[in-house]
Amino acid sequence: MDIVINTLHWSAILCIMIIIGSLLIAAIRKLMMTHVLIVANFLIFVLTVLNYPEIIYGLGFRSTYLAVEQIPQLYTLITSMFIHGGFLHIFGNMLIFFFVGFPFEQRIGWKKFLTIYFLTGICAALTHSFLNLGSPIPLVGASGAIFGIMGAFAYSYPRDKVVMPIGIGIMFLTRIRVMYAVIFFAAIETFIVWMDVPDGTAHFAHLGGLISGAIIAAIILRKQKTHTKKGETIYYDSFNPQKPKKIKLKELKSLATTPELLSMYSKIENETVPQVRDIWIEHFLEKAVCPKCGKSLNHFDEKIWCEYCDFRTNI
């Protein structure tokens, strides 16, 4: 059995370098992966416009690559997520990704976010390919991975609201609960599949990404507390995030001595997402001052103290 290895055009090799380089820079510089992925997709799209056939056919994934002799071509399961066939294709994908990816990455961190993104993108491509075995048509686009992020977001934080482009024919931005947004897009995809609309879009890949997103999130985020009761604050110890500790809100309220701090305290008290609330607590403690001497406070773990007087408290 002969193993098939295709020779890549220089432009396809450059695209691979952009993918690897952008992810490495983002990890080293601690940039938001959502932003970096969007930039990488647009850079590769420019190269695709200039070298359309070489990149599409070199980096797109085909169901024929599932054959044993085509194993070396399986890297296209990843590269195909960065390739788009036209401006409307990439614009629509990146628009939805911007509004969904950024808040989800903030909640779970870039490592888990990137894991879910790539795993669901692969699951989406495989779903489409298993239903179209032997098809030589390249599968391209990030939509499978984006639907995967939506599915994971809906599973983890169904009640959270995000800004989303919603509509049929004419899109408009609206603030909507993640679960409702996912139901809306899933209903459209299911209807198109059921009606067998020949629009050249891999709708089964979208559904595969969506379902795998929820399943993978259930596995990866199974121990992560995603919601709290109103009025309860959870503090996540960065060295032991699996054992959250409760924050005493009344101790924080005693430090809310200005309108700005009162406003922050209100956000802390009403926020239901632990990670977002943790950020507000950090901002609150940076702004708070000692109630005895008015100097800045120090805080670490559950302790707050003033180095200028004897003020001490625990939260």
Query: What is the CATH classification number for the domain harbouring 15?
Result: 1.20.1540.10
**Measured CA distances, 165 to 36, 91, 96, 228 (Å):** 21, 12, 7, 28
Same domain? For 156 and 54 the reply is: yes
- Looking at the fold, whether 212 and 83 belong to one and the same domain comes out as yes
The answer to whether 151 touches 211, Cβ cutoff 8 Å, is yes
Please give the pLDDT value at position 189: 86
H, E, C per residue of 245-288: EEECHHHHHCCCCCHHHHHHHHHHHHCCCHHHHHHHHHHHHHHC
pLDDT at residue 48 is higher than 90 = yes
Which of helix, strand or coil describes residue 228? coil
Query: pLDDT tens, 261-277?
Result: 888 888 887 776 665 67
Domain count, the chain: 2
How open is the CA angle 21-109-105, to the nearest 5 degrees? 85
Q: Compute the distance between CA of residue 133 and CA of residue 144 in angstroms, rounded to an integer.
A: 18
**pLDDT tens-place string over residues 158-200:** 888 787 876 655 556 777 888 888 898 888 888 887 777 666 7
Whether 180 and 82 share a structural domain? yes
Confidence check: pLDDT of 145 > 90: yes
Distance CA 146, CA 84 (A): 13
Q: If we measure between CA atoms, which residue out of 109, 140, 108 comes closest to residue 124?
A: 140
pLDDT of residue 125: 95
Question: Which tens digit of pLDDT belongs to each residue from 100-141?
Answer: 998 898 888 899 999 999 999 999 999 999 998 888 889 999
- Cβ-based burial of 240 (10 A; exposed 0-12, middle 13-18, buried ≥19): exposed
pLDDT exceeds cutoff 60 at 5? no
The model's pTM is 0.71
**Cβ partners under 8 Å of residue 63, min gap 6:** 128, 129, 130, 132, 133, 134, 135, 139
Last residue of a domain, one of 220, 253, 280: 220
Parent domain of 131:
10-220
> What is the per-residue pLDDT for 281?
79
**pLDDT tens sequence across 17-43:** 999 999 999 999 889 999 999 999 999
- The residue out of 194, 220, 246 marking a domain boundary is 220
Same domain as 260, residue 140: no
Whether residues 285 and 155 fall in one domain: no
Does the structure show a pLDDT above 90 at 3?
no
Write down the pLDDT at residue 6: 67
Confidence band of 52 (pLDDT split at 50, 70, 90): confident
27: closest CA among 90, 139, 146, 111? 111
Same domain, 60 and 118: yes
Q: Looking at the predicted structure, is the pLDDT value of residue 236 above 50? A: no
Residues 148 and 292 in one domain: no
Residues 15 and 114 occupy one common structural domain: yes
